[in-house]
Amino acid sequence: MGNERGFMEIERRDPGYRPVEERVRDYRAVEKQLSRNQLVEQATRCMDCGIPFCCSTGCPLANVIPEFNELVYRERWQDALDMLLLTNPFPEFTGRICPAPCETSCTLGINKEPVAIRQIEVSIAENAFERGLLQAAPPARRYDARIAVVGSGPAGLAAADVLNRHGYNVVVFEKNQYPGGLLRYGIPDFKLEKWIVERRIKLMEDEGITFETGVEIGLDLSSKYLLDRFDAVVLAAGAEKARDLPIPGRDLNGIHFAMDFLMQQNRRISGEGVKVDEISARDKHVVVIGGGDTGSDCVGTSNRQGAASVTQLEILPEPSADRPPETPWPLWPASRRDSSSHKEGCDRRWAVQTESFEGSNGDVRKLKCCEVEWVTPKDGGRPVPQKVKGSDFLLRAELVLLSMGFVGPATNKLVDDLELKLDPRGNIQRDGDHKTSHAGIFVAGDMTHGASLVVRAINDGFQTAQSVMNWLKTRA
């Protein structure tokens, strides 16, 4: 522990965001960063409290947070980096876009503001890149074994990184033009600028990983090809199948899945171009259906494209602003969150159900909605939505973005050809060693546990790589 009185003497400081009127005119990162001196000061707020719930309960990667806080306080940046990389291969991603469950588990957070852990994490990473501490480190020796990784999102990248560092020959197959998965094509630049993803991919290439992009496994390459040429395969193809809203009027023009909209914008910014019909929010009244993070990204993107208005609908009731009693410390609080995008202009409505879309000349014009209340059935069970009588209303909409989550992996011929078993939710089934029902094929990330978080995908890729290596050793 650096400074015993730090948590009593120093208040939490957040870097804040660029002013709204400035940031909505571009797609650059909205969040600022603390200076190095401010970070050192923030690190001294860590109490090294004995049972660090931040790592044991909060961080899915179990980052050793009190230890790297102390190393930052002592300005031992190389040691802090080494400590962080023990558990987290990509701190420059999590330090920017992780919702930081570590902070909601921080002991200081019981009665004060928690330690600014995410900011400290990103600063250790960025400081390392700036000072040249993070450089390509290819393995000293290589095994003969070859591993194919299908999908280059955080789960695939983490698996590839671990396997490569241990000396295995890794080829990552990606159907898109550039690697990165949702880091590149889903999450908007204003949360994660893409040069950060490119910098990491370059480092991984320099360390010996091969990226084969524009290759859809199951379509461009068969399962036979993979099984013949590789000793093991890690599937990390995400959960791309979006939940639909099959209500009257769904076939009207102007109703799109959130990911189609977000992906187009990310492609435009990177200069990749959009080859299909362009979806634009410019001068339109936009309604985003679904109150989660993907919906919030649609809000921010719509405002940047120049929407006339943006409304976000959520069927669940509005959560309380404070930590509710059902999720006490150190659990992740089920409280209301307002993202930087919401603060840029958005009408958020809760406990609202969309009953139909109405249009003219084939284009969507309105949503017919009603309010609902959540009622617990008399015989117990989960609450269900019930329409509030007389609460019908119409909402003007020229662009509707469906953002109600994902229901599982996209149709994949590889999965069909190999007849991989699915779990009851439609995700690829696996055992405790990350193995699918086909020998030598492993699965990681959203493809097996459903849509989640970058930090969980990284952790899962990391763990899956360990299982692959254990399995290869039993065959040697």
User: Which chain residues interact with ligand FAD by CB under 6 A?
Assistant: 97-98, 150-156, 173-176, 181-182, 186-187, 191, 216-218, 236-238, 259, 262, 293-294, 297, 412, 445-447, 451-455, 457
> Distance between the two ends of the chain, CA-based, in angstroms?
45
**Residue that the structure tokens 């094509």 belong to:** 185
Give the nearest distance from C-beta 33 to ligand SF4 in angstroms: 14
Nearest CA to 15 out of 25, 2, 29 is that of 29
Q: Which residue of 24, 30, 80, 98 would you call a contact of ligand SF4, by CB under 6 A? A: 98
Please identify, using beta-carbon distances, which residue of 30 and 98 lies nearer to ligand SF4: 98
Q: Is 126 in the site for ligand SF4 (CB under 6 A)?
A: no
Residues 134, 157: Cα–Cα separation, whole Å: 17
Q: Which residue of 100, 242, 418, 443 would you call a contact of ligand SF4, by CB under 6 A? A: 100
SS3 content of the chain, % helix, strand, coil (to 5): 35, 20, 45
Residue 16 dihedral angles phi and psi, to the nearest 5° = 80, -175
Question: How many residues does the structure list for the chain?
Answer: 476
- Asked if residues 100 and 53 have their Cβ atoms less than 8 Å apart, the reply is no
Give the nearest distance from C-beta 157 to ligand FAD in angstroms: 7
Please identify, using beta-carbon distances, which residue of 109 and 180 lies nearer to ligand FAD: 180
Written as six digits, the tokens of 450 are 């459903």
Q: How are beta strands 309-313 and 347-349 bridged, if at all?
A: parallel
Residues 50-79 that bind ligand SF4 (CB under 6 A): 58-59, 61, 63, 65
Residue 175 dihedral angles phi and psi, to the nearest 5° = -75, -25
Please identify, using beta-carbon distances, which residue of 88 and 107 lies nearer to ligand FAD: 88
Question: What stretches of 134-225 adopt beta strand conformation (E)?
Answer: 146-150, 169-174, 210-213
Please identify, using beta-carbon distances, which residue of 63 and 464 lies nearer to ligand SF4: 63
Residues 76-95 that bind ligand SF4 (CB under 6 A): 88, 94
Strand partners, 348: 312
Q: Is 105 in the site for ligand SF4 (CB under 6 A)?
A: no
Please identify, using beta-carbon distances, which residue of 363 and 417 lies nearer to ligand FAD: 417
Give the nearest distance from C-beta 121 to ligand SF4 in angstroms: 5
353: helix, coil or strand?
strand
Q: Is 102 in the site for ligand SF4 (CB under 6 A)?
A: yes
- Residues contributing to the site for ligand SF4 (CB under 6 A): 58-59, 61, 63, 65, 88, 94, 98, 100-102, 117-118, 121, 455
